[in-house]
Structure 1
Amino acid sequence: MRKFSLSLLVLLLIGGLGNQSVAQLQLLRDQVSGNPVMANPNPDVNGTPYWSGFEEGKIIFSEKDTVENLMIAFNAFNHTLVYQVERDLVAYTPGKISGFILQSKSNPQLFRSGYNIPNIGPNRFVEILVDGKYTLVSHKFKRITDDPGAAYGAQRAKAFVNAEDLYVYKEGQPFLWRAKKKNLIEFFGNEGYQKINQFADTYNLDLKAKSDIRRLIHFLNQEK
């Protein structure tokens, strides 16, 4: 695995040199005003478009090309991976990188690009929860809605709100997780549905709870 220092990345970016991965970096700027991204494009919206704050992580360009020890954050509103270069913010869209890892030293969360989310987009970042014959992913995103914390009687304010959908993929086909018999049979078939019920009964799984769905997919992947 090739590793690059942050200082080398900065020099490559400023000098216009480097490999294809570095050449794909783009400084975040508003498409209309040209203002740097630090100027909040949503000043009237409470909260943040980032899923969590900036933290040390990794950017994955390919299996053999990973950049470590970067301060990165996932902008879940416009679905970009953002990282800090000195005082600038630099962004990657899903089509430009293979993925990234948040909280790489404490609780690693692997995100990959290239996933088609029905009715949303053909190339999105998703968190990989289980990988295998059945791949379970979390599609995290932000919405702008009425601020639930606004004082009663005050002018209606807007806020960023977290949202998350779980999808199961098999051979590239997505299934939006819905714990209903009809939906499960359509995707897993009758035999798969019977196995799901068997595992749920044996291990007392709640098919609406994220942690239990994760365990279930692990069980299904272990079946021959």
Structure 2
Amino acid sequence: MHIKHPKQHVFHDILTCMKNALKALSLALFACALFSLDAAAQYTSTTDMEARPVHEYNAITMIGSPYLHPDFAEGTITLSNGTIYEGVNIMYDQVRDVIVFKGKDGQVKELIEPVKEFSINYIHNNGKLHKTFRKGYTGEGVSADAFLEVLADGKTTLLKKTSKKIFDRKGYSSATIDREVQESEEYYIATGNKLTKVKKSKGSLLAAMPGKADDLQSYIKTNALNLRNDSDIIKLVEHYNSL
């Protein structure tokens, strides 16, 4: 019978530990490589974005703004193919329903790539706002290419469409043309990607969220919700999603 020397046992154990450590390191490096490849595929520099020169509005005196926010603000853009652009300086043109961005070279351009969703962060009335806009909903005369603001997300989604139009006005016996931006708002409840237009009233909202009328009416009463306010409609839809 061959008996191993104690030193041989120690040497064998050391080799086994080294092999296991190398195997674990190899797996970790492989995982990191896959993660890096995935990240590179998803997050892309703004220099890769397809764009064209921005449409500039006439510098006539304008009352109101054609944009969601009149200054560039940090945003995240998700394309239809899954590519994500983060930390982009953007403005949302609500007259033409397009995204305008500022590249690293400082040039202002209009994004022409197919966008699925974007979010933007900005300051309004000394408060921080984060808003998300999404495409792909249809029905009620809304195009699948229209951006809708996501107010509440879930199995039932509350959406808002703010449309803006520009009107030129010339006063009597005046050579000055005043340009005014007028906006309108419409609200929708979506199940999947199908839209139902709703009014800011209890009857309209409950009809768009069937099956839980008693529970929703009780929630409205208990929490003294004012359904003329966006914030209270959001609470109602979030409660419906929790049922």
Q: Same fold (TM over 0.5)?
A: yes
Distance apart, 1:27 and its partner CA? 0.5
Question: Residue 212 of structure 2 aligns to a residue in which SS?
Answer: helix
State the AA in 1 paired with 2:223: Y
Q: Structure 1: give runs of 5+ residues left out of the alignment.
A: 13-21, 29-35
The aligned runs of 1:57-206 (5 Å cut-off) are 57-61=75-79, 65-85=83-103, 86-92=105-111, 96-103=114-121, 106-116=128-138, 118-145=140-167, 157-180=178-201, 183-184=204-205, 186-189=207-210, 191-206=211-226
The structure where helix makes up a greater share of residues is 2
Q: Structure 2: give runs of 5+ residues left out of the alignment.
A: 1-38
In structure 1, the residue matched to 2:26 is none
In structure 2, the residue matched to 1:3 is 43
Q: CA offsets, 1:100-139, max 9 Å, x none?
A: 1101795322211222362342321112111111101121
State the AA in 1 paired with 2:44: F
Contact kept, 8 Å, 1:57 with 1:101, in 2: the verdict is yes
Q: 1:206 to 1:69 in 2, by over 3 A?
A: same
Percent identity reads 21
Q: 1:179 to 1:164 in 2, by over 3 A?
A: closer
Q: 1:200 to 1:90 in 2, by over 3 A?
A: same
Matches of 2:230 and 2:172 in 1, distance apart? 33
Matches of 1:98 and 1:75 in 2, distance apart? 16
| TM superposition score normalised by structure 1 | 0.72
In structure 1, the residue matched to 2:238 is 218
Matches of 2:206 and 2:219 in 1, distance apart? 15
Question: Residue 55 of structure 2 aligns to a residue in which SS?
Answer: coil
In structure 2, the residue matched to 1:32 is none
Matches of 2:181 and 2:67 in 1, distance apart? 9
Moved more, 98-107 or 168-177: 98-107
Question: Residue 195 of structure 2 aligns to a residue in which SS?
Answer: strand
Matches of 2:83 and 2:191 in 1, distance apart? 27
Between the two proteins, the alignment pairs up a number of residues equal to 196
Q: 1:185 to 1:55 in 2, by over 3 A?
A: closer
Distance apart, 1:156 and its partner CA? 7.0
Matches of 1:172 and 1:60 in 2, distance apart? 18
Matches of 1:42 and 1:167 in 2, distance apart? 35
State the AA in 2 paired with 1:118: E
Larger of the two Rg values belongs to structure: 2
RMSD: 3.2
In structure 2, the residue matched to 1:56 is 74
Distance apart, 1:97 and its partner CA? 1.1
